[in-house]
Amino acid sequence: MIEPIRWTDEGVVMIDQTRLPAEETYVTCRNYSEVAQAIRAMIVRGAPAIGVAAAMGVAIGVAQAAPADLDAQVARISAELRSTRPTAVNLFWAIDRMNRLYRTIRHLPWEEIRDRLIAEARLVREEDIEINNAIGRHGAPLVPDGKTVLTHCNAGALATAGYGTALGVVRAAVAAGKDIDVFADETRPFLQGARLTVWELQRDGIKATLITDNMAGHFLHSGRIGCVVVGADRIARNGDVANKIGTYQVAVLAKENGVPFYVAAPVSTLDLSLPDGERIPIEERGAAEVTHVFGVRVAPEGTAVRNPAFDITPSRYVTAIITERGVARAPFEESLRDLAGSPA
């Protein structure tokens, strides 16, 4: 089983997702600034995995803090971790969760605060694996048997603490005996599909076929795709979904061709404070991700680039949102509110 992120006595250990699939190497972040830098550089990526990393970042920051003036230090640690990436709400959710706990235990001795925060960060990780198993259980019945699942980016074990959201649904469908295979969009510019999704499905013996992003429409039109399943970085109150750039066009093409489009994400990805997707901040990343591939230049010197890392899929293209608490369908304003309010 792939362990993308875990707590050790030496620090927060992460599989380096920038090196896969060529090398399976692990990075140890020994303080909260190294955790923040790992999130920025996408050594760890995927909304749920970023949440786990941020929780562990708060814990390691407090573990190394001076016992005096802890309030200010927790605020500084949290602010640095919050500044790493803007779109995935799980980052803020995890930091808020750690801060809420801190406020209830701040009167305790420092050693106890430290131990409780470390335990909480480890719990965030363990819960995430359980959540993904539950997402898989809810999603597996939706996957048509004998067809292909199309996925975009990597919403797999590597994007989470383990098992995956979208790929958790695939794994659960395979475990349930369904005869399916996966088409993986390569997902430029960072190539999460080519590098990560194919890699982890190969390890599990699930048949995966790699396509470039511009082939998705062709295969959705061909009739072989039974459904699309993707992850999410943030879901607004009305069901609009922020996810990896390119998700929007896959959703439009799925609808145009009568193929169900499913989003698999934990309840922590819901941001009910936002009425719709237009308010979700979209990260714009550097030009070199587009002009270079693994350091090799693919465009002329001086090329102007746009590089939004995410896009918004309006909820009218979303067939259903699969969470650990059940499956939400339109009208999403109601169904998501009900799921958010229901017991975990």
Rounded to a whole number of angstroms, the minimum distance from the CB of residue 325 to a second copy is: 30
Q: Which helix (H) or strand (E) holds 5?
A: strand 5-8
What is the secondary structure of 68-101 as a DSSP string?
Answer: TTHHHHHHHHHHHHHTS-SS-HHHHHHHHHHHHH
Query: Which residues lie closer than 8 Å to 42 by C-beta, 6 or more apart?
Result: 17, 18, 190
Cα 52 from chain centroid (whole Å): 10
Site residues for a second copy, window 176-235 (CB under 8 A)?
183, 185-189, 191, 194-195, 198-199, 202, 207-219, 221
Question: In angstroms, rounded to a whole number, what is the distance separating the alpha carbons of residues 276 and 294?
Answer: 36
Site residues for a second copy, window 35-74 (CB under 8 A)?
none
- For the chain, what is the largest distance between any 2 Cα atoms, rounded to a whole number of angstroms? 64
Task: Return the residue of 13, 176, 290, 340 that touches a second copy, per CB under 8 A.
Answer: 290
Per-residue binder mask for a second copy (CB under 8 A), 148-177, x = binder: ----x-------------------------
Rounded to a whole number of angstroms, the minimum distance from the CB of residue 290 to a second copy is: 6
Judged by beta carbon, residue 140 or residue 242, the one nearer a second copy is 242
By CB under 8 A, tell whether 256 contacts a second copy.
yes
Judged by beta carbon, residue 72 or residue 298, the one nearer a second copy is 298
Q: Which helix (H) or strand (E) holds 341?
A: helix 332-341
The label of the residue with tokens 């305790």 reads 108
- Of 48, 62, 60, 68, the C-alpha closest to 102 is 62
By CB under 8 A, tell whether 254 contacts a second copy.
no
Question: In angstroms, rounded to a whole number, what is the distance separating the alpha carbons of residues 240 and 316?
Answer: 8
Q: With CB under 8 A as the rule, give the number of residues binding a second copy.
A: 54
Contact (CB, 8 A) for 132 and 1: no
Judged by beta carbon, residue 22 or residue 68, the one nearer a second copy is 22
Site residues for a second copy, window 116-155 (CB under 8 A)?
152
Rounded to a whole number of angstroms, the minimum distance from the CB of residue 221 to a second copy is: 7
| Catalytic residue (choose from 128, 185, 233, 240) | 233
Judged by beta carbon, residue 208 or residue 267, the one nearer a second copy is 208
By CB under 8 A, tell whether 16 contacts a second copy.
no
With vertex at residue 72, the alpha carbon angle to CA 67 and CA 77, rounded to the nearest 5 degrees, is 90
Strand partners, 247: none
State yes or no: is 233 an active-site residue: yes
Question: Would you tell me which residues interact with a second copy (CB under 8 A)?
Answer: 21-22, 152, 183, 185-189, 191, 194-195, 198-199, 202, 207-219, 221, 245-246, 248-249, 252-253, 256, 290-291, 293-300, 302-308, 311
Active site residues: 233
